[in-house]
Amino acid sequence: MTLTHTLGFPRIGAHRELKQAVEAYWKGDIGAEALASAGRDLRAVQWAREAEAGLRWVTVGDFAWYDSVLDLSVLLGAVPERFGPVGDRVDLDTMFRMARGRAPSGMPAAACEMTKWFDTNYHYLAPELHQGQAFRLASESLFDQVREAQALGHDPKVVLVGPLTWLWLGRVKGVAFDRLELLSRLLPVYHAILERLAALGVAWVQLDEPILGLDLPEAWRQAFVPTYNALAVPGLNRLVATYFGRLEENREIAAALPVEGLHVDGVRGGDDVEALARCLPAPRVLSVGVVDGRNVWRTDLDAALARLRSLHDALGDRLWLAPSCSLLHVPVDLGSETRLDPEVRGWLAFAVQKLEELRVLARALDEGPEAVAPALAEARGAVAGRRASPRLHRPEVRARLRAVDDAMTRRHAPYRERAARQKARLGLPLFPTTTIGSFPQTQEIRMARRDFKAGRLDAASYRRRMEEEINAVVRFQEEIGLDVLVHGEAERNDMVEYFGEQLEGFAFTDYGWVQSYGSRCVKPPLLFGDVARPGPMTVAWATHAQGLTQKPMKGMLTGPITILNWSFVRDDQPRADTCLQLALALRDEVRDLEAAGLPILQIDEAAFREGLPLRKAERADYLAWTVRAFRVASSGVRDDTQIHTHMCYSTFNDIIDAVAALDADVVTIETARSDMALLDAFQEKAYPNEIGPGVYDIHSPNVPEVAAMVALLRKAAVHIPAERLWVNPDCGLKTRGWPEVRASLVNMVEAARVLRAAP
Ligand code: GLN
Ligand code: ZN
């Protein structure tokens, strides 16, 4: 029998029940008991789904209140000292304080750093490591969950991030040291965990080591075999799971691991699967990730079967089937999408449907394709239907794509000349002040948008409401003396969805939520077809705003790379082509805004860095096509029109040349928390254009003092000449409240004045 399993399942629930429970607990609306019971309910539903789909085991260990890497840190006793003394077992609120700085009980403290899980939009909490750190088994939660699954009649497989990946993800605190030194202290605790699991009757533990898909230093590569030798526990089988990329030079290490099974990504792993099938000695198991855990399209079951058949012949029962990675990265259940266009719906598979695909594949292998003929035929129809759908292919878009030439990727004049013309047109002072685009999204704004969408508010009234909001935001900016104004983005629910909704080629779900971090979920649009812009998307709002003031108004757009990286994207053509289609649509919008009189346009690329390939060898290619797309979107304007871009993250070392190659006149970045340290990168590489290093940390409710911002700007001026510095917050203000925004921006404008008087 071909066995199926899943590396993990979305924990948020089909209707984001986890979010509701956790947020209610934080607010004090429910207590720990009610929270615990909500968690049990969610797990019971999830395990029942896995059992119904015929998986050999239910997966335990993929549930977490906030983040599973954080839960593992807690299990290993890796709780930083600032969270206070912890008892024999770390309690729930200590875990929440590590995640978000505060919890219903306990003293607030600075939260642990949160960062993206490999190349996904899921964020984990980075373990904090210090020299000589001691580890101990400090939580019962995982073992309780094993017993809970068993009590429900399930046979659990337990998943944990493996010791090397956990250490790799750790951040060194205090004295610098090599964190690999901690491995020998860590392994006894992992061993103790595995022993406890074996004692509970768990037969298989899945240890995730996705770092095997990265360019690893030699010492780390050499650590794998000894680590897994040290983690042998009688009666317990270990499946080491890799995913998100090709193993390449780490393939031999994977093959040599002294474990009972290996999981390999069959979607992104190239021919890793085939190569390992040839060399993995019996009785080791090869779990093949045949169903894409990173995207939402139905699997081409015929193609998958053709590939699996020879593997099945070679491996027999040693072949297992699974999604490529945890299903954490896709929505829960397509069954919830009753309003989705039926044609598009037919092309999709969410987590629940992906488990069903595994069942069909396994049966086809074991009993022959006849046994599942109707399911195979349906899948065949869906795949062929998507490929052939006229909605995917627009000849005029294709023709335009072919016609993109180098001239379309270049501004007329180089930056220096443009800067002079823009200066003459805009007449801005030294240290010009601006914001990143959005202003607080008040309850009234959200309600107006919701009412309009639901048909309770007619278009004219909605428009009036939004214009009133724009009027107020513009008046406020004039009053406090900002130099470059924005309209405030009140009409936008989300910076990607807003544009997707107005472009052809996109579809939207009602419940297609994916966890981003903690209780935060995102609903990525489905980018299924050729992208076209039926008409202007932002011009009416922007012109209304410009009409209210003599000051320069900045038009606000989301860039092609960010729209691409924050959507579920069609897989029938290269991402570079899809990105260029987006760029062409945005190029038209940029030109329309220019023609409407907007002297400055900002093209946000918040997700530029996120798409960077995990392997260094693949980065140049990504950077080449993304830079080209940005330039196509932004280069169709006159020299005296100023292009801004915004990137809200704080690591630029490895992409600074690409950022410079975008050739935006101004880039605004996140620096308030990093104390301007990242400007080193800009200085070192002699970044040639203007920069607005964020001086106001918008992720905190604190109001920044004038002196603090002046100090930050003086620091910035050490790296970047004053003529090329802008003064702005770190990011948009949509999540903040008006009182703090008002006070903070008044201070920010004052800081710029102080600097102009005494640079
Ligand atoms: N213009 C957007 C805003 O201000 C940018 C958001 C972002 O970078 N995440 O909201
Ligand atoms: Zn931002």
Q: Give start and end residues of each alpha helix (H) in 569-618.
A: 575-595
Q: What value does the mean pLDDT take over residues 22-50?
A: 98
Q: How far, in Å, CA of 217 to CA of 656, rounded?
A: 23
The predicted structure's pLDDT at residue 671: 82
Region 335-351: mean pLDDT is: 96
Q: What is the pLDDT of residue 581?
A: 98
| CATH number for the domain whose boundaries are 3-388 | 3.20.20.210
For residue 492, give the ligand nearest its CA.
1
For range 54-67, the mean pLDDT? 98
* Mean predicted confidence (pLDDT) in 182-199: 98
**Amino acid, single-letter form, for residue 100:** R
* Closest residue by Cα to residue 690 from 341, 339, 321, 430: 430
CA 731 – ligand 1 centroid, Å: 6
- Residue 649, pLDDT > 80, answer no
Identify which of 362, 371, 369, 368 has the alpha carbon closest to the alpha carbon of residue 5.
Answer: 362
pTM summary value: 0.95
> What amino acid occupies position 195?
E
Q: Which atom of ligand 1 is nearest to the CA of 492?
A: 10
CA 625 – ligand 1 centroid, Å:
23
Contact 516, 122 (CB under 8 A): yes
> Can you tell me which atom of ligand 1 is nearest the CA of 556?
1
Higher pLDDT: 160 or 697? It is 160
Q: How confident is the model at residue 110 (pLDDT cuts 50, 70, 90)?
A: confident
Q: What is the mean pLDDT of residues 370-398?
A: 96
pLDDT of 678 higher than 80? no
What crossing angle do the helices spanning 738-757 and 706-719 adopt, rounded to 10°?
A: 50
The protein residue whose alpha carbon is closest to atom 3 in ligand 1 is: 732
Q: For ligand 1, pick from 121, 538, 562, 646 the residue to mutate: most ligand atoms within 8 Å of CB.
A: 646
Residue 578 has pLDDT above 90, yes or no: yes
Average pLDDT, the chain: 96
pLDDT band at 246, cuts 50/70/90?
very high
Structure confidence at residue 701 (pLDDT): 81
Ligand 2 centroid to 561 CA: how many Å? Answer: 14
Mutate to test the pocket of ligand 1, among 495, 541, 554 (most ligand atoms within 8 A of CB): 495
Q: Which CATH architecture has domain 431-502+537-757?
A: Alpha-Beta Barrel (3.20)
Please enumerate, by residue number, every residue annotated as part of a binding site for 5-methyltetrahydropteroyltri-L-glutamate. 16-19, 116, 121, 520-521, 566, 610
Examine domains 3-388 and 431-502+537-757 and report if their fold is the same: yes
CA 532 to ligand 1 centroid distance, Å: 23
Q: What confidence tier does 615 reach under pLDDT thresholds 50, 70, 90?
A: very high
- pLDDT-derived band at 76 (thresholds 50, 70, 90) equals very high
Distance in angstroms (rounded) separating the CA atoms of residues 320 and 361: 11
Convert the pLDDT of each residue in 293-320 to its tens digit.
Answer: 999 999 999 999 999 999 999 999 999 9
Q: How confident is the model at residue 68 (pLDDT cuts 50, 70, 90)?
A: very high
Give the residue, by CA position, lying nearest to ligand 1 atom 5. Answer: 732
Residue ranges around ligand 1 (CB below 6 Å)? 436-438, 489, 495, 556, 604, 606, 646, 648, 731-732, 734
Phi, psi for residue 208 in degrees, rounded to 5? -80, 120
In a mutational test of the pocket of ligand 1, which residue from 604, 608, 734 has the highest number of ligand atoms less than 8 Å from its CB? 604
C-alpha–C-alpha distance, residues 517 and 717, integer Å: 35
Q: Which of 63-72, 204-213, 645-654 has the lowest mean pLDDT?
A: 645-654
Distance (Å, rounded) from C-alpha 424 to C-alpha 293?
Answer: 52
Which pLDDT belongs to residue 639?
Answer: 98
The two three-digit tokens of residue 376, written as one number: 């195979």
pLDDT reading at 673 higher than 80:
no
Q: Which residue has the tokens 């948009």?
A: 732
Indicate the range of 22-36, 166-180, 592-606, 691-705 predicted with least confidence. 691-705
CB atoms within 10 A of CB 149: 25
Structure token pair of residue 489: 């983005």
Any idea how long the chain is? Answer: 759
pLDDT attached to residue 674: 73
In tens, the pLDDT along 357-381 reads 999 999 999 999 999 999 999 999 9
What DSSP string runs through 2-29? -EE--S---SS-TT-HHHHHHHHHHHTS
Atom of ligand 1 nearest to the CA of 602: 1
What was the pLDDT predicted at 318?
98
Q: Is 546 helix (H, G, I), strand (E, B) or coil?
A: helix
* Catalytically annotated residues: 699
Q: Cα(400)–Cα(565) distance, rounded to whole angstroms?
A: 22
The predicted structure's pLDDT at residue 176 = 96
Residue 227, pLDDT score: 98
Output the CA 369–ligand 2 centroid distance in Å.
50
Q: Using one digit for the tens of pLDDT, what is the confidence trace for 496-537?
A: 999 999 999 999 999 999 999 999 999 999 999 999 999 999
In the predicted structure, residue 74 carries a pLDDT above the cut 80:
yes
- How many CA atoms lie less than 13 Å away from 151 in the CB half-sphere? 9
120: pLDDT strictly greater than 80: yes
Tokens of 99: 């995640």
For 328-339, what is the HEC assignment?
HHCCCCHHHCCC
Quickly count: other Cβ atoms within 10 Å of residue 456's Cβ: 12
Angle, in degrees to the nearest 10, between helices 395-402 and 575-595: 90
Cα angle value 289/292/295 (rounded, 5°): 160
| Domain range list for the chain | 3-388, 431-502+537-757
Question: What is the H or E stretch that residue 319 is in?
Answer: strand 319-323
Residue 459 has a pLDDT of 97
Q: Ligand 1 centroid to 734 CA: how many Å? A: 8
Q: Which atom of ligand 1 is nearest to the CA of 606?
A: 8
Q: How far is the CA of 482 from the CAs of 54, 420, 552, in angstroms?
A: 61, 21, 10
pLDDT value, residue 571: 95
What is the DSSP code string of 32-90?
A: HHHHHHHHHHHHHHHHHHHHHTT-SSEEES---SS-HHHHHHHHTT---GGG----SS-
- 433 with 559: CB under 8 angstroms? no
d(CA 488, CA 471): 10
646 alpha carbon to ligand 1 midpoint, in Å? 8
